[in-house]
Structure 1
Amino acid sequence: MFQCYPWLVVPKVRWDLTTSRVLTMDFVEGGQINDLEYINKNGLDRFEIADKLGKLYSRMIFIYGFVHSDPHPGNILLKKAEDGSCEIVLLDHGLYATLSKDLRVEYSQLWLSILNKDKQGMKTHSRNLGIEGDIYGLFACMISGRTWDSLMEGITRKKPSLKEKKIMQDILPTVLPKINEILECVNRQMILIFKTNDLMRGIEYTLNTSNRMASFKVMSCCCIRSVYGDKMDKARSIIDKLKIVATQYWLLFKINIYYAFLTINEVYRNTVSRNLCLYTQN
């Protein structure tokens, strides 16, 4: 399933030492993914770590619908590869969420609606996941971990800030009853996704990589592949399939161009800001 990621390490099962009650796997050394001292000591790149983890979980959730649902730091180790890059070791495979195809596609479409600031799309796909009425906005905020204002401005361009975090903390007590209502109504498979999302955000917060734009690019591409893969399965004619493939690759091309533009723009702004600081100091 994940042979395309040579940096992913899953300990092999030792069947000769495994019984119906005891699962024995290879011992793998490494440091916990939130161990900043280990990361710095081994010269590992925090952004490379976050990008690889994001790729892994985007593929799990949006492409395969088979998700390791306990990604706390004790279950994710880091190793330094021979070429100096990082390897990710995934442990404890006792809790997996198996997402139905319908949920996986709806969840992908909901994320695309969030990334595109599409309120009607958010409402439609939230309803298909069990959320009725105006609380779809809060549902979208819970999934993205951002405020509604940020969603409407565009989370691919507006980075999280301390001010936004403070706003979310301040309004939490007032929306808690609505959050409980959402958890009561939502498709049960979504509960493990919520848990997984929260654990992933906690890791990114510790690594101080929450502001990276690359995570949205990977997620967008996986969502598009999920949605158009479903369309392809339902297509009946060769012409329809060719149109779907062409549309999918056109969207992927536009995403790559868009995020390349954002990256160049960010580098330019950082360079200008740094030069202004140097000019002011001189």
Structure 2
Amino acid sequence: MAAARRELRARPYNEKIKPARQGWKGARGRGGLGLSTTEVMTTMVDLFSAQIFKWGVVHCDPHPGNIFIRRLPSGRAELVLIDHGLYVYMSPTFRRQYSAFWKALMTFDNGTIARVTSEWGIRGADFFASATLLRPYEGGDNSLRDSIRKDLEGKTPAERHYAMQQLMKQSLRDMLADEDKWPKELVFIGRNMRIVQGNNQYLGSPVNRVKMMGEWASRSLFQDKNLPVTQRMTNAWRHLLFKAVMFGTDVAFYFFKLRQWLGLGGGMEDEMERRMRGVAQDYGIELQHDVFEG
């Protein structure tokens, strides 16, 4: 051993005394466990979507330090979730409301969005929709954003800064119009989704997270055995229509994957972050950190 150490100090690049590359870098020479990031993120998004939309028991701290990834003898990836100290429990009524709200976000069903947010005591549905999706909501009337732009025209930077402070305070008051109705669980569910989005972005956006969550929300509405049979059948038919509508998100996802593969830009989550920065600037907010940094 001492001779090997002396040899390494004298000739650190001598390949003969180093372990074979395939022994520690794997068959593809990348190192790690040789697992598919797509498989890992699919398991992760499916797990937390099931917690939110199906079981109503949500782990609210899924950062990488609380997740182990291990390789099974079959070569498949297994996700081990630890640190179960921060959970939120959703009532059946709130879980169904949240599922309907998420499905409405994906299909631009502004009537359902307005109804659910009203039940939660929230005004400013577009603002809240963007905060939930962690991306700009495209289905609203943009009346708030247009009003802000008009109010800020011709103002100096100092005047714009002061005006935006007042507008943001008012927007938050509107969003929390009735604090007695406002579900406190939304804070913790939002934390879960933000961290999962950051995990997906860090791995290069291997999965279409928003579409997967939307499908879980829609599916849960017809798989819920506590709903009347007629309502479940109606929801099942609507789920088939929903899956057809979601084809458009696949087109966008694979467009960004191709662009990323060609080295022309980032993945879908990177594009969402860029657009969220743009929305924040429209509201007078300058983000000084990564939007999805946990």
* TM-score normalised by the chain length of structure 2: 0.59
- Answer yes or no: is the 8 Å Cα contact 1:183–1:191 preserved in 2: no
Residue 264 of structure 1 deviates from its aligned partner by 7.3
- Answer yes or no: is the 8 Å Cα contact 1:109–1:227 preserved in 2: yes
Is it true that 1:201 corresponds to 2:202 in the alignment?
no
| SS of residue paired to 1:112 | helix
Residue 216 of structure 1 deviates from its aligned partner by 3.9
For the residues of structure 2 that align with 1:175 and 1:50, how far apart are their CA atoms?
A: 38
Question: Between Structure 1 and Structure 2, how many residues are aligned?
Answer: 210
Instruction: Give the corresponding residue for 2:132.
Output: 143
2:212 to 197, 218, 227: 218
Is it true that 1:251 corresponds to 2:247 in the alignment?
no
Residue 115 of structure 1 deviates from its aligned partner by 0.3
Instruction: Report % sequence identity.
Output: 23
For the residues of structure 2 that align with 1:173 and 1:200, how far apart are their CA atoms?
A: 30
Residue 138 of structure 1 deviates from its aligned partner by 0.6
For the residues of structure 2 that align with 1:130 and 1:142, how far apart are their CA atoms?
A: 16
- Answer yes or no: is the 8 Å Cα contact 2:218–2:242 preserved in 1: no
| SS of residue paired to 1:44 | coil
RMSD over aligned CA atoms reads: 3.6
2:49 to 58, 61, 78: 58
Which structure has the larger Rg? 2
- Answer yes or no: is the 8 Å Cα contact 1:106–1:128 preserved in 2: no
Residue type of the partner of 2:131? Answer: M
- Answer yes or no: is the 8 Å Cα contact 1:123–1:137 preserved in 2: no
| SS of residue paired to 1:208 | coil
The alpha-carbon distance between structure 1 residues 261 and 198, as it changes in their structure 2 partners (threshold 3 A), is closer
Is it true that 1:188 corresponds to 2:184 in the alignment?
yes
The alpha-carbon distance between structure 1 residues 74 and 266, as it changes in their structure 2 partners (threshold 3 A), is closer
Is it true that 1:228 corresponds to 2:217 in the alignment?
no
- Structure 1, unpaired ranges of 5+: 1-38, 154-169, 236-240, 278-282
1:1-282 correspondence runs (5 A) = 41-131=32-122, 133=123, 135-148=124-137, 150-151=138-139, 176-177=168-169, 178-179=171-172, 182=175, 185=179, 186-209=182-205, 212-213=207-208, 215-229=209-223, 233-235=226-228, 241=229, 243-259=230-246, 263=250
| SS of residue paired to 1:233 | coil
For the residues of structure 2 that align with 1:201 and 1:175, how far apart are their CA atoms?
A: 28
Residue 99 of structure 1 deviates from its aligned partner by 0.7
For the residues of structure 2 that align with 1:266 and 1:190, how far apart are their CA atoms?
A: 27
Q: Deviations over 1:187-206 (max 9, x none)?
A: 11111111112211211221
Residue type of the partner of 1:222? Answer: W
* TM-score normalised by the chain length of structure 1: 0.62
The alpha-carbon distance between structure 1 residues 259 and 110, as it changes in their structure 2 partners (threshold 3 A), is closer
